[in-house]
Amino acid sequence: MGSFFAKYKFFGIVMLALSGVIVYLFYNALQPKKMLPVYQPSMVDKSLVDSTLHYTKKYHKIGDFSLVNQNGDTITQNNYKDKIYVADFFFTTCPTICPIMTKNMAEIQEVIKDKPNVMLLSHSVTPQIDTVAQLKRYAMEKGVLDHKWNLVTGNKKQIYELARKSYLAVKNDGDGGPFDMIHTENFILVDKEKRIRGFYDGTNRDDIDRLLEDLKILEASYTE
């Protein structure tokens, strides 16, 4: 009897392992795949959204734009055509949250540097200060890769409207007159169809990790 069990011991171990693999595969197949929401203005804090969009519940997309980057090149929506990207709003002389946001955006840049379909886009909320030369100095200091990350400046009204009507990312007018922007720490994940797929606190470690996980999910959705 002992020799019988010894003879088939290896076969039994193989079958047990195979059964475990089959159960694991079935379990994974039955788990619902995580899908990222498509954010609409009605889903966002009203203080971050232009009043004309407060009740918009579908079809929201990032509007067209034409701005200038750290190299003096004109950057439009065409530079981000068929790209996933992470956007934010900042200014180079910000002493509080911006240095942390830029550091974390640089970390994201490191993750995506070999991903041709993923880019970054940072908008200055003080374009009168953040000239091309100023943005270039800042870009060199922070290790910005020109082919992955555009720091853009331009017409303040256009940037304000992008922030409030497209990215839903800055608060109501500040005290500096028309189109003054009180920017938030938000990073915004945008898909290839120019839709918002996530908001993240650009100063929060856990949120950066969540953004990177959501980026993987979004990338995978284009390969299925």
Alpha helices in the chain (DSSP H): 2-30, 98-112, 132-142, 156-161, 205-221
Alpha-carbon span 43 to 59, nearest angstrom = 13
Residue 153, both tokens: 């400046």
Instruction: Supply the pTM of this predicted model.
Output: 0.84
pLDDT number for residue 24: 42
pLDDT number for residue 92: 96
Which residues are 118's β-sheet partners? 84
10-residue averages of pLDDT along the chain (224 residues): 52 54 46 83 93 94 98 98 97 93 98 97 95 98 98 95 94 59 88 98 97 98 88
Annotated binding site for Cu cation: 94, 98, 183
Annotated binding site: 94, 98, 183
Residue 171, both tokens: 């608060």
pLDDT tens digits for range 166-202:
999 988 655 455 566 677 899 999 999 999 999 999 9
The helix/strand/coil state of 189 is: strand
